[in-house]
């Protein structure tokens, strides 16, 4: 037993095994982080289901039903006959202007924060005389008296007030639903009737008071689309197919402008049926919360193997250089205290800002390890050494988390420096004649 106690190879094997064993609770904490993040998402979905989901304004556009004729062969009586099918033409506006203000607010579900918003949008534009010649459809087959002005809206529960359409100075009421699912699956519609033989420009405008959660997106259906949005929210994320041409973001909020041409998207101004999809061209605003503590905690735990490995390496060098024996159980307890840091970080960051939670958790863990090392090594100098090394490691990880774009670069440089220090301090050790009892 004494030989095993002082055998350097047995010691290295034991330390390695303990380090690998401690990765099991590390994986369990990663699963816990995912579970807590899922719980947060569930809270967001619950609030959104009652307030209004993420919203995308698709349109407006005009859908016009028409009759198409196809040959159909009947196997029953071996007769080929012509069958009339009702489909829809879709016409996009020549000019589309959207301006509005978004008023976000935070809601709470338990310990979780959710961003919801009220928006007031003014939508206006023009339709030129419809050019249907390119579609090879007979004018008499087009049902102009059944055309619908359609605005696609993801969640109709977000509409707060009755919506009316001003069509060439004529007021038309909207109804719920869409005439066809060719382009959108949910929205509102207004019935129109025009004379196809009159060469005329049609002007429209409407106001839309819309509630939603976290995201507000639009589709650039106009031949020229101009959108201007403003808000008091100071932490927006501009996402989707197009970024703003001009934007101003400060502590008082943001203002953003988009100008998009029909040449910038991959669908025409008029088509029949479901030949094209407008969804890939959507863009808009994500109203982000300033801190995502779960993502940062998950990123920090990816360095757990570095903490465990480097701490055990320091303990091992202390044993080798100072002829002090540290029991495997003491390695395990020190390793577990390093793992507990991440549970502290996860739980505290749900109530405090992440940076403050990191500092509190790091100080608590360092204090615990310092007290334990002082008790087992009986040396203030060695205690300060180990605590200082761990403090540098925590600072290193903290910096990496803050510098997300440069995390790989800083991490690689840090690991290179650590490896260099280990090689420097171990350069004079005679590994062939080493033992843990001080005997020559």
Give the residue among 113, 96, 21 at the shortest CA–CA distance from 60.
96
Phi-psi region of 298 (alpha: psi -120 to 50; beta: other; left: phi over 0): alpha
How long is the chain?
Answer: 440
Q: Which residues contact 395 (CB under 8 A, 6 or more apart)?
A: none
Task: Identify the H or E element spanning 377.
Answer: helix 354-377
Q: What is the pLDDT of residue 5?
A: 58
Q: What is the pLDDT of residue 11?
A: 76
Q: Across the beta sheet with 112-127, what order do the strands follow? A: 170-173, 164-167, 202-213, 112-127, 95-109, 224-231, 253-261, 246-250
Q: What is the pLDDT of residue 98?
A: 95
Using a cut of 0.85, tell me whether the model's pTM lies above it: no
Report the DSSP pairing between strands 215-218 and 55-74. Answer: parallel
Token representation of residue 364: 């608590």
Q: What is the pLDDT of residue 311?
A: 81
Q: What is the pLDDT of residue 439?
A: 47
- The Cα 98–Cα 205 span in angstroms is 10
Q: What is the pLDDT of residue 261?
A: 93
* Binned average pLDDT, 10 residues per bin, the chain of 440 residues: 62 83 86 82 75 87 85 66 79 93 82 84 88 72 86 90 88 90 91 74 91 91 94 88 91 91 90 88 84 76 80 79 78 86 87 86 89 82 83 82 71 76 69 56
Task: Identify the H or E element spanning 437.
Answer: none
Q: Is 129 helix (H, G, I), strand (E, B) or coil?
A: coil
Are 115 and 214 in contact by the 8 Å Cβ rule? The answer is yes
Within 10 angstroms of residue 323's Cβ, the number of other Cβ atoms is 13
């Amino acid at each position: 037993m004494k030989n095993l106690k002082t055998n350097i190879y047995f010691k290295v094997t034991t330390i390695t095994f303990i380090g690998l064993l401690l990765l099991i609770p590390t994986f369990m904490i990663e699963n816990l982080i995912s579970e807590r993040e899922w719980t947060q998402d569930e809270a967001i979905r619950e609030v959104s289901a009652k307030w209004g989901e993420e919203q995308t304004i698709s349109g407006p556009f005009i859908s016009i039903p028409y009759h198409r004729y196809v040959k159909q062969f009947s196997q029953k009586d071996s007769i080929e006959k012509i069958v009339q099918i009702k489909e829809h033409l879709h016409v996009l506006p020549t000019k589309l202007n959207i301006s509005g203000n978004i008023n976000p607010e935070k809601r709470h579900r338990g310990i979780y924060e959710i961003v919801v918003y009220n928006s007031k949008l003014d939508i206006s534009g023009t339709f030129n005389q419809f050019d249907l010649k390119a579609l090879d459809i007979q004018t008499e087959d087009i049902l102009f008296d059944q055309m619908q002005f359609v605005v696609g809206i993801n969640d109709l529960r977000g509409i707060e007030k009755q919506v009316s359409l001003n069509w060439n100075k004529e007021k038309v009421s909207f109804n719920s639903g869409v005439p066809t699912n060719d382009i959108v699956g949910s929205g509102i519609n207004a019935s129109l009737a025009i004379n196809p033989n009159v060469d005329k420009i049609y002007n429209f405008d409407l106001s839309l008071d819309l509630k939603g959660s976290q995201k507000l997106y639009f589709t650039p259906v106009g031949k020229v689309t101009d959108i201007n949005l403003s808000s008091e929210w100071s932490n927006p994320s501009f996402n989707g197919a197009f970024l703003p041409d001009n934007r101003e973001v400060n502590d008082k909020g943001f203002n953003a402008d988009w100008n998009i041409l029909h040449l910038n998207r991959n669908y025409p101004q008029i088509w029949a049926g479901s030949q094209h999809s407008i969804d890939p061209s959507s863009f808009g605003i994500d109203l982000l919360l300033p801190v995502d503590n779960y993502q940062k905690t998950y990123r920090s735990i990816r360095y757990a193997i570095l903490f465990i490995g480097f701490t055990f390496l320091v303990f091992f060098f202390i044993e080798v250089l100072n002829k002090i024996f540290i029991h495997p159980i003491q390695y395990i307890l020190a390793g577990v205290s390093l793992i507990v840091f991440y549970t502290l970080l996860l739980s505290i960051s749900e109530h405090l800002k992440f940076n403050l939670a990191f500092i509190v958790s790091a100080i608590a863990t360092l204090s615990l390890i310092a007290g334990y090392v002082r008790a087992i090594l009986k040396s203030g100098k060695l205690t300060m050494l180990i605590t200082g090394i761990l403090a540098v490691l925590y600072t290193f990880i903290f910096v990496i988390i803050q510098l997300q774009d440069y995390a790989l670069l800083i991490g690689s440089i840090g690991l290179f420096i650590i490896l260099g220090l280990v090689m420097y301090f171990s350069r004079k050790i005679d590994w062939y004649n080493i033992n843990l009892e001080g005997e020559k």
